[in-house]
Amino acid sequence: MKMIICIVQDEDVHVLIEDLNKAGIRITRLPSTGGFLKSGNTTLLIGIEEEKVELAFDIIEKNCKTRKISTPLIPVNMPTESYIPQPIDVTVGGATLFMLDVDEFVRL
């Protein structure tokens, strides 16, 4: 068994979860916050049999869109100048995935 930790944008999560559930893939949804943008995203814990991993990846890829986001003003500290806030554009991924081996899975 594998554990996929999947970080996605909040906008994509509703349909993504629906499609994963339809495919018989169980998830736990956790609210999370990106360290860089400091805005909300969603982390899904997906415990899954190895033979279903590819299916899960396909569903995630289909539902999670890349977006360009203009950040809020990011503080830039320069030693000789006063504080100058700078907005920057970043491309936020479709999804960020980590895959772990699961030693044991028990449901009591």
Would you say 28 or 82 has its CB closer to ligand 2BA?
Answer: 28
Which residue, 23 or 84, is less far from ligand 2BA as judged by CB? 84
Cβ–Cβ contacts within 10 Å for residue 48, how many? 21
* Residue 9: CB minimum distance to ligand 2BA, A: 8
Residues near 30 by beta carbon (within 8 Å), at least 6 away in sequence: 42, 43, 44, 45
Enumerate the H helices of 23-95 as residue ranges: 53-63
Q: Which residues of the shown chain bind ligand 2BA in the complex (CB under 6 A)? A: 7, 34-37, 41, 90-93, 96
Nearer to ligand 2BA, 98 or 105 (CB): 98
